[in-house]
Amino acid sequence: MRLAGALLALSLATLGGVMANARLAAPPVADAAIAGSGFPAKLSDYGFFTQAREQVPNLGVHPYALNTPLWSDGAEKLRFIYLPDGTQLTAAGAGLLQFPVGAAIIKTFAFGEGAGRRLIETRVLLHRAEGWVALPYRWNAEQTDATLALAGGRVDLTTPAGEAISYAIPNKNQCKTCHSRDGQVIPIGPKARNLSVKWLAEMVKQGALDRVPQGAGTLPVWSARKASDPAGPLARAYLDANCAHCHQPGGGASNSGLDLRWEQADPHAIGIMKRPVAAGRGAGGNDFSIVPGHPEQSILLYRMDSAEPGIAMPELGKSSIDREGVAVVRRWIAEMRP
């Protein structure tokens, strides 16, 4: 988190000294690699970074952070947006920012800190004329570059919680599974409501965004939460960031009937006293997705609190249990009036 915060601060300040010289001297980002039809073999083929291991962004590459991020086995995530020269993002209310063709979203997953920090994978979303393309890249042992991993892969590592896991790098089709709505690949994270107003305002100042929309920055900042904070907004933001990309109309799990988006106000749609469409061992013997006042009877929490394939939710991007997320959702359900 400290590195992600430092990179975000970097985007909000004037670059100086050696860092500025390094960025100005670096070759520009390879627009043809983003907008073309091929799948570049190396992450370095794009030119997103002037220093790979340190994740120093090139000109036109903007670091950003999410108020409530998606959880992935406790990995630190370094997030960036690339915009071709002369283009900008467009705000669409408090929802997903709209990206010009030729833009890219870059997300690197890392474990450890300082000299022991290890880059595991970088996922890129490329906005081409025919739509978005999602590609995974796996970092080499030397931490000098990442190689296209269309088939995904496994990496043995220890999480920040001390758990030894087999971390899953998704294959290209699995990327599409989560980044899909109505059969089209789309971004998930950069919604205006899940981005800080300060960052959005700076992007406007730089000419990289048309405006700061109403409702921006409304999701709570997960890393700044306190035990005394109301559980409802935290839990709803967590479900929006971690589950709603599939559990919404047009999403990969729309047949479940659950709609876990932040803006959904119908109690039944978010699972309160809602029976599952298809019961099975994933229900854990429970009858409803959420039973107010009874987290121990709620299917939603039962599946969040499992790492067993066929039961665990989310189904992808998780080899361990997010204890903090489970605790917040448990408190939210427990505090509901029956």
Report yes or no on 91 lying in a domain.
yes
Q: Is the pLDDT of residue 148 over 90?
A: yes
> Is residue 215 a part of any domain in this protein?
no
Query: Residue 116 sits in which domain range?
Result: 2-205
Length reported for the chain: 338
pLDDT of residue 315: 76
Bridge partners for 81 per DSSP: 62, 105
Q: Are residues 196 and 235 in the same domain?
A: no
Task: Report the candidate in 311, 300, 304, 305 with the shortest Cα–Cα distance to residue 333.
Answer: 300
Is the predicted pLDDT of residue 176 greater than 70, yes or no? no
Structural domain contains residue 278 = yes
Instruction: Domain count for the chain, please give it.
Output: 2
Q: How confident is the model at residue 184, as a pLDDT? A: 77
Is 212 domain-assigned?
A: no
**128-133-138-142 Cα dihedral, nearest 10 degrees:** 10
Whether 117 is covered by a domain: the verdict is: yes
Phi/psi of residue 27, each to 5°?
Answer: -60, 150
pLDDT at res. 228: 92
The answer, yes or no, to whether residue 46 has pLDDT greater than 70, is yes
- pLDDT the model gives residue 20: 53
Q: Do 13 and 152 belong together in one domain?
A: yes
Whether 211 maps to a domain, the answer reads no
Q: Note whether 132 and 259 are same-domain residues.
A: no
The confidence score (pLDDT) of residue 26 equals: 75
Q: Give the N- to C-terminal CA distance of the chain in Å, as an integer.
A: 38
- Same-domain check for residues 185 and 255: no
| pTM over the 0.75 mark | yes
Decide if 111 contacts 123 (C-beta within 8 A).
no
Are 118 and 253 found together in one domain? no
Give the residue with greater pLDDT, 175 vs 215. Answer: 215
The pLDDT value recorded for residue 314 is 82
Give which of 184, 337, 201 is closest to 272, Cα–Cα. Answer: 337
CA 315, 318, 323, 324 dihedral sign is negative
Query: For position 335, what pLDDT does the model report?
Result: 95
Mean pLDDT of 191-217: 96
> Same domain, yes or no, for 90 and 185?
yes
**Chosen domain end from 205, 236, 263:** 205
Average pLDDT, the chain: 89
Q: What is the pLDDT of residue 2?
A: 46
Residue 159 placed within a domain: yes
Residue 191 and residue 236 share a domain: no
Q: Is the residue at 214 inside a domain?
A: no
Say yes or no: 175 and 258 in one domain: no
Domain termination residue (choose one: 156, 172, 205): 205
Task: Pick 324 or 5 by higher pLDDT.
Answer: 324
